[in-house]
A and B are shown apart, each in its own frame.
Chain A
Amino acid sequence: MSTLAVHDHGVAHHDDHGHEHHHNQSFLSKYVFSMDHKMIAKQFLITGITMAVIAMILSILFRIQLAYPDKTFPLLTTLLGRFAPNGRISADFYLSLVTIHGTIMVFFVLTAGLSGTFANLLIPLQIGARDMASPFMNMLSYWFFFMASVVMLSSFLVQKGPASGGWTIYPPLSALPKAMPGSGEGMTLWLISMVMFVASSLMGGINYVSTVLNMRTKGMDLWKMPLTIWALFLTAILGILAFPVLVAGVVLLIFDRSFGTSFYLSDIVLNGVQQPYEGGSPILFQHLFWFLGHPEVYIVIMPAMGISSEVMSVNSRKPIFGYHAMVYSLIGITVLSFIVWGHHMFVTGMNPFLGGVFMITTLIIAVPSAVKTFNWLATLWRGNIRFTPAMLFAIGMVSFFISGGLTGIFLGNAALDINLHDTYFVVAHFHLVMGSAAIFGMLAGVYHWFPKMFGKMMDEKLGYLHFWLTFIGAYLVFFPMHFMGLDGVPRRYYAFTEFVSMQRWLTVNTFITWAAIMAACAQVAFLYNFISSIFIGKKATQNPWESNTLEWTTPVEHLHGNWPGEIPTVYRWPYDYSKPGAEEDYIPQTVPFSQTMSSNQAHDFEDNPKGLEELNKFNSTLKANEQVK
């Protein structure tokens, strides 16, 4: 019965019957082809974590090459066979590793793993819906993602190895199978996998948008939605607008590769042999790619921003500072992110005036980002901060976002980008602002909503260990890279042995590799914690973080449809923490103002004149009573 305590509108007759109709689902329909959004969220999460571990191992492999370019590791030959002859990763395979690492991290982990998990879990739970608009499409979305993952990984089994033109797959390199080994079947598999991936993302995104717009519970107007929902909603919109453009670019690439068209190809002599392509424009692909690519980086970071906002508010026991500003800045980012793609192309020989325009739009987008940062700081100010592992990861996200966002100001400046483009400075920038920040947002979400997903608590101490090792490790890995970039060290280099001027960075590279290995080992603490907590973790209570949002009003035991009985009605915004005059330091969204007369403020009734009147009446009687005393 405790599960009902939060509902104030007394639906007296429920629950006793709740379990009667528990039709026995088969294993297949419960765990595999489930249409329940909570199960699909878990599927996305576990697949995402698996892909993350794989991508992390790939990164350690190529970091070993960078740290010890002249040493041989016979073990590598044993593990990788023809890709690492004589104990050293081959140059081509090095590029494959980098490419697949980037692709998996950006798309499979930080897009599907992050949005897929938390949009599926939180959208119905936090807006008060029983499931997604179309549960069937939702299931398809997961299975397309799963197949895309399998195809992507299967490219390691191909004779010539996986795609190796970088995650941006610029043609002609990716379009000419003879240009490098990875541009053969490996690239074909990459393209197939990405098409499936986009299908998955679109099906997911369509569902998220439609659910948020159509299926909110009573009282949940847009301005009462938690920031997580806002972020996930806008992320889905970005995906819907951007991914089709990538498909268009990829379709043209497929035609160039397989049917002999020349959209992207022109005047090519490969190994002394003229190719029959004329008139194409490689820059066209870059335009199409980055029209997706830049929104994509915000697709990655916005859910992390939303999660961090929510987690920081809950754990500072303070309302998020400037809720409206937070939403407007998210909207601003969403809109602006479509007109800045050219900043990835300053030095392609694009019209310099166009470059200037893109530079202006790019630096404008830094403003909403700055606003968000300051608002997070203001949220912490005079809070009552609880350091749960989730809170630590949310803070780590803010720290990384600051560090990485500031270097964006250098790169967004076309004049400075001349010398910084494609150097390690860019690597440092996006690993901090996107890689680390988004991963930390995701981990914050996992630690925070683990009780909701699995009904168990994760171990806090292991969480602390995991956080500090990863946080310090990430800074140790990426901070020095800025200076390598400022020394003009290019990215995607197999070894820094051939240039005399780069050899002095070898010690730094060795250091970075060991920091990376340490951070990677720290993930074992997380994996152990995650898996063991599912089975032997402490049982979770219904609202372990004393949080306001709707998902904590559902029972710990999952049921299809989320709430037994009626879906609760929402009366207030989700951030009434530490309200003066309230009994507890939190007031769930389901508590009507009539029950919290002592803590109501004029601010609560901005668009509700009737409520305001009542408040004034209440206050005046209060005053009158005092005077009588």
Chain B
Amino acid sequence: MMAQIQKDNDRLDLAPKKFNMWIFIFTSFMFFAALTSGFIVYSGGKGHGLNVIMPDAFKYSTAVIIISSITLLLASKAAKQLQFAKQRMFLWLTFVLGVAFFAIQVYAWYVLTYKMNVYLTDPNASRSFVYIFTGMHLLHIIAAILLLLNTLAGTYKNIPQVRNLFKMEMTSIFWHFLGIIWIYLYVFLLLNQN
């Protein structure tokens, strides 16, 4: 009896799970750090600079992902104040912005390939790296969007507020992290573009 209650209490202890998310973010960061280090080793060793002016689309996607972080913040705030309708609205907005980000990145690929003749299979692999960076980031974005949808679904299902906040928090950590990673990658590319 006691054991059962105790155990359930332990189960509800969500702090370690949140910690898991932080560590995951760390691994994810290592992954992108490895890719960018690969870029440095490659372009340094081979003397292959990038020599590509980044398409403007990246500017727009950067703006979009920053705005999406703000809307997600607003959603979190609403959730804490128990304004669930507002929370839902901002979550939907974030979702739309996420999808928009995705679309803009794909558009940027289009521009790179068809307008600027920068190919994935370029003999200068520094240029291939641009696709790898954005592609791998987009994979993460897909995961984040799924997580967001899960949280969104939760708001329709009348789950306990603790869990709602927990889900919000997990989603936020991941989402903001992806925003930061994108800015990191973009700045990295800008610094190396010639």
Contact = CB atoms under 8 A, between A and B. Distances in A.
Interface of A: 11, 13-14, 17-18, 20-21, 129-131, 133-134, 137, 202, 205-207, 209-211, 213-215, 240-241, 243-245, 247-249, 251-252, 255, 259-263, 277-281, 283-284, 287-288, 291, 559-561, 563-566
Contacts of A137: 20
Contacts of A563: 3
Q: Which 10 A-B pairs have the closest CB atoms?
A: A133-B16, A278-B123, A248-B34, A244-B31, A244-B30, A245-B34, A17-B1, A260-B121, A214-B16, A210-B19
B132 A251 contact: yes
10 contacts: A134-B20, A206-B23, A240-B27, A244-B28, A244-B30, A245-B30, A261-B120, A262-B125, A281-B46, A561-B10
Nearest to A198: B27
Contacts of B7: 130, 560-561
Contacts of B19: 133, 210, 213-214
Contacts of B122: 261-262
B136 interface: yes
B23 A17 contact: no
B184 interface: no
Given A206-B27, A287-B41, A565 B3 contact: yes
A559 B6 CA distance: 14
Given A284-B41, A284-B42, A565-B3, A279 B48 contact: yes
B35 interface: yes
Interface residues of B, number: 38
Q: Which of A14, A18, A206, A240: most chain B Cβ within 10 A?
A: A206
Nearest to B24: A206
Nearest to A211: B16
Q: Which of A20, A261, A284: most chain B Cβ within 10 A?
A: A261
Given A21-B1, A244-B31, A262-B128, A252 B38 contact: yes
B132 to A, nearest CB: 7
A259 B125 contact: no
Contacts of A206: 20, 23-24, 27
B188 interface: no
Contacts of B120: 255, 259-261
A134 B14 CA distance: 9
B23 A210 contact: yes
Given A130-B7, A251-B132, A564-B3, A263 B23 contact: no
B26 interface: yes
A281 B15 contact: no
B38 A566 contact: no
Interface of B: 1-4, 6-7, 10, 13, 15-17, 19-20, 23-24, 26-28, 30-31, 34-35, 38, 41-42, 45-46, 48, 120-125, 128-129, 132, 136
Contacts of B28: 244
A259 B2 contact: no
Contact of A241 (B10, B30, B42): B30
Contacts of B1: 17-18, 20-21
Contact of A17 (B2, B13, B42): B2
Contacts of A130: 6-7, 10
Q: Which of A205, A262, A564: most chain B Cβ within 10 A?
A: A262
B128 A133 contact: no
Contacts of B16: 133-134, 210-211, 214-215
A319 to B, nearest CB: 31
A255 B34 contact: no
Contacts of A11: 2
Given A560-B7, A565-B3, A263 B17 contact: no
A245 B41 CA distance: 14
Given A137-B20, A561-B3, A255 B27 contact: no
B16 to A, nearest CB: 3
B125 A280 contact: yes
A160 to B, nearest CB: 25
B107 to A, nearest CB: 20
Q: Which of B20, B31, B121: most chain A Cβ within 10 A?
A: B20
A230 B7 CA distance: 25
Contact of A288 (B20, B38, B132): B38
A398 B68 CA distance: 55
B36 to A, nearest CB: 9
A73 to B, nearest CB: 45
Contacts of A245: 30-31, 34
A210 B24 CA distance: 10
A14 B3 contact: yes
Nearest to A262: B125
Q: Which of A18, A210, A215: most chain B Cβ within 10 A?
A: A210
Given A261-B125, A559-B3, 6 more contacts: A11-B2, A18-B1, A130-B6, A134-B16, A240-B26, A281-B45
